[in-house]
């Protein structure tokens, strides 16, 4: 009750289930609304049958996205650029999946020419692709539209590929950047994951996973003592994380995040100019 009062959250928004020492907190409607709005997919969900939202632990978004892809295509091959986060390749080992590393451009983006060559070498198997929305070292954003075009040109129809967008780094910043590529479920993607402890500043590692309902239903199972369905890898999750996320989203709002993104970009341009002036 103290949490409800301090954050001004109505009881109808939060479902708190206590079982012995386990406390699970779900802030369903508000969390889903703001995240989907930020990713430019809210309002289009009914048309594309999208909307399964899950709070996850940090990089588990990659594990979850790739797992869903493997469940959709059990014999699929995982493709990821060499600059992808190391957990992508760790997930491939854990799930015993065939994994193909694709070369990168100087910018760190996936090289779609090399991607096409490797797709054509494995045309008999479905493709599961990890698309980066901000790589760890270079901050590269893969060209989602070009990735989809390359798949189609290589003879892969939409029922033969699954795309997971790893937006852990820039996923929550992209909607506020002019001329940035759109990440939307109106495009043939399967899932998107974003971090809550980076740009949003949540004090503990956490993230949010969005995927199509038709995919997540395959992984879901009823948990009797929780009186709900579970579709996560770990089951239990940090109950405090959604409260911090909800509070931050409501305190800053759309305009607040927009201003912070603009400030980050101004600082980045300033640093670039100063380094150039210094001869670097």
The reported pLDDT for the residue numbered 231 is 77
| CA distances to 72, 78, 148, 187, 217 from 49, in Å | 16, 24, 20, 12, 12
Whether 12 is in a domain gets the answer: no
Residue 225 lies in a domain: yes
The chain-wide mean pLDDT, for the chain, equals 80
pLDDT of residue 87 exceeding 60:
yes
pLDDT attached to residue 99:
97
pLDDT digits (tens, 9 = 90+) for 214-236: 888 878 888 887 777 877 777 76
Domain of residue 86, CATH code: 3.40.640.10
Whether residue 7 lies inside any domain: the answer is no
- In the chain, the percentage of residues whose pLDDT exceeds 70 is 79
Q: What is residue 190's predicted lDDT score, i.e. its pLDDT?
A: 94
Distance in angstroms (rounded) separating the CA atoms of residues 137 and 55: 25
Task: Confirm whether 234 is domain-assigned.
Answer: yes
Domain coverage including residue 188: 28-242
Q: Which of 189, 233, 230 shows the shortest CA–CA distance to 94? A: 233
Q: Could you report the per-residue pLDDT of 93-128, keeping only the tens digit for each?
A: 999 999 999 999 999 999 999 999 999 999 999 999
Q: Has residue 55 got a pLDDT over 70? A: no
Helix (H) or strand (E) holding 24: strand 22-27
Whether 227 is covered by a domain: the verdict is yes
Residue 233 or 55, more confident: 233
Q: Number of folded domains in the chain?
A: 1
Domain-embedded: residue 248: no
Mean pLDDT of 175-188: 88
Neighbouring residues of 7: CB distance < 8 A, sequence distance ≥ 6: 243, 246, 247
**Is position 15 within any domain?**
no
- Residue 20: predicted pLDDT: 25
- The model's confidence at residue 59, banded by pLDDT at 50, 70 and 90, is low
Calculate what percentage of the chain has a pLDDT beyond 90: 45
- Evaluate whether residue 264 is within a structural domain: no
Tell me: pLDDT of 198 over 70. yes
Give, for 195, the enclosing helix (H) or strand (E). strand 191-195
| pLDDT one-digit tens code per residue, 67-76 | 999 999 999 9
């Amino acid at each position: 009750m103290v949490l409800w009062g301090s954050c001004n959250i109505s009881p109808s928004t939060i479902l708190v289930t206590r079982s012995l020492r386990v406390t699970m907190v779900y802030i369903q409607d508000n969390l889903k609304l703001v995240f989907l709005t930020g990713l430019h997919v809210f309002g289009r969900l009914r048309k594309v049958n999208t909307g399964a939202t899950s709070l996850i632990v940090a990089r588990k978004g990659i594990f979850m996205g790739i797992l869903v892809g493997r469940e959709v295509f059990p014999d699929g091959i995982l493709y990821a650029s060499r600059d992808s986060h190391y957990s992508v390749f760790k997930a491939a080992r854990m799930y015993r999946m065939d994994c193909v590393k694709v070369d990168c451009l100087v910018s760190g983006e996936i090289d779609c020419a090399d991607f096409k060559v490797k797709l054509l070498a494995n045309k008999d198997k479905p493709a599961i692709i990890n698309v980066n929305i901000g790589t760890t070292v270079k901050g590269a954003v893969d060209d989602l539209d070009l990735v989809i075009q390359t798949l189609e040109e290589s003879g892969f129809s939409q029922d033969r590929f699954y795309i997971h967008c790893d937006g852990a780094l820039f996923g929550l910043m992209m909607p506020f950047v002019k001329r940035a590529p759109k990440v939307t479920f109106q495009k043939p993607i399967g899932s998107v994951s974003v971090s809550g402890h980076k740009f949003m500043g949540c004090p503990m590692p956490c993230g949010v996973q969005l995927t199509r309902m038709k995919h997540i239903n395959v992984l879901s199972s009823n948990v009797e003592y929780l009186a709900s369905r579970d579709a996560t890898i770990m089951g239990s999750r940090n109950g405090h994380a959604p409260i911090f996320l909800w509070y931050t989203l409501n305190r800053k709002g759309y305009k607040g995040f927009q201003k912070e993104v603009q400030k980050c970009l101004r600082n980045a341009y300033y640093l670039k100019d100063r380094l150039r002036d210094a001869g670097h």
